[in-house]
Amino acid sequence: MTKKSTYPRMHDDYRKIPSVSLPFRRPLVGALNALLAFDCWRSPVDPRVLRRREKIYNADGSCFEVLVMEPAETTTTSPALIYYHGGAFALSYASLHLQSCERYAVEAGCRVIFVDYRLGPAKPFPHGFNDCFRALEWTLETAEALAIDPKRVAVMGDSAGGGLSAGVAQKALDGGVPLSAQLLIYPTLDNRCATESATSFSDTPVWNSNLNRNMWTMYLRDVNAAAPPAYAAPGRREALSGLPPAYVETAEFDPLRDEGLEYARRLEQSAVAVELNQTSGTVHGYELAPENPETVRSMRERVEYLWKIFHPGRVL
């Protein structure tokens, strides 16, 4: 358990959350994902949002699903936000992910394509990443049927989903696919785990340096982790010029903090427009305390950023 005296600046909302150890083994991950599925099943759907599931196929015949969310009163073509949930590349999404995306759909005036990508340890890199990029392709291919404006499409994700968003944005750049923006919420970017925060935060609540290393070992087990393939650890990419504008959010007591800050700095040095939100007193996944002042502020800032890139010149 994290001691209260260890991090005096940490908000009281997070002090009671223990530091945990999670071996990424199939039986345990399967049990946790079953609990997450139950959590989502019992969570009410926002009546302002319509949901439907679509199945998408990859070229190799594998498939995955996306959940399409749209404001119930939308009758015109709208922007699209493709969302990749967090969960250490192994855990499924929680009701909190769905609730946040419902809010983005309503308040940012967009359709959300929520990607239920394949997960490790059964399907490590590149399977889930391929699903994530395929979801972007599918969105653009079916934009007319989905009533989506293909010129206003952004990617967004939290934690592992933030890393997937960064990788998708890089592959989109390499393939000449334009994106309006990338929103990276405390993203997982660098498997070297060598930053100060990645090495020192061994007992922080929710996420710690040991979990971080174990996650990367699981996720990159089928590739050369010392020199990972393109898009696997997007923070290690050298050339960042030409990437879409970025919103980057970090948590103060999070092993991923410094790699997020470094990526934001390098994007700016590469002439990419960056909006950086460094939250204070927070831990990884700090939205677990929805009434926390930093959660309230950051959710508002995410919506305002989405509105700005989706509806330029219009006041929210």
Residue 108 lies in a domain: yes
pLDDT of 4 over the 60 cut: no
Note whether residue 315 is domain-resident: no
How many domains are contained in the chain? 1
Q: What is the pLDDT of residues 46-81, one digit of tens each?
A: 999 999 999 999 999 999 999 999 999 888 999 999
- Give the tens place of pLDDT for each residue, 132-154: 999 999 999 999 999 999 999 99
Q: How confident is the model at residue 5 (pLDDT cuts 50, 70, 90)?
A: low
Average pLDDT over every residue of 192-214: 97
pLDDT over 90 percentage in the chain = 93
- Percentage of the chain surpassing pLDDT 70? 98
DSSP character string of the chain: ---TTT-TTS-HHHHTSPP------HHHHHHHHHHHHHHHHTSPPPTTEEEEEEEEE-TTS-EEEEEEEEETT--S-EEEEEEE--STTTS---HHHHHHHHHHHHHTT-EEEEEE---TTTSTTTHHHHHHHHHHHHHHHTHHHHTEEEEEEEEEEETHHHHHHHHHHHHHHHTT---SEEEEES----TT--SHHHHH-SS-SS--HHHHHHHHHHHTTTS-TTSPPTTTSGGG-S--TTPPPEEEEE-TB-TTHHHHHHHHHHHHHTT--EEEEE-SS-BTTGGGSTTSHHHHHHHHHHHHHHHHHHSTT---
Judge whether 69 lies within some domain: yes
**pTM value?**
0.97
pLDDT tier at 16 (50, 70, 90 boundaries)?
confident
Is the predicted pLDDT of residue 297 greater than 90, yes or no? Answer: yes
> According to the model, what pLDDT value does residue 37 have?
97
- The whole-chain average pLDDT of the chain stands at 96
Q: Does position 1 have pLDDT exceeding 70, yes or no?
A: no
Domain of residue 198 covers 12-310
Average pLDDT over every residue of 85-101: 97
Residue type, 132: C
Out of 5-9, 46-50, 225-229, pick the least confident.
5-9
Catalytic residues: 159, 254, 284
Tell me the per-residue pLDDT of 166-182, one tens digit each, with 9 for 90 and over: 999 999 999 999 999 99
Residue closest to 287 by CA, chosen among 275, 271, 299, 277? 299
Residue 179 lies in a domain: yes
Instruction: Give the CATH number, domain containing residue 193.
Output: 3.40.50.1820
The per-residue pLDDT for range 241-262, each reduced to its tens digit, is 999 999 999 999 999 999 999 9
Question: Does residue 4 belong to any structural domain of this protein?
Answer: no
* pLDDT of residue 3 exceeding 70: no
Residue 255 lies in a domain: yes
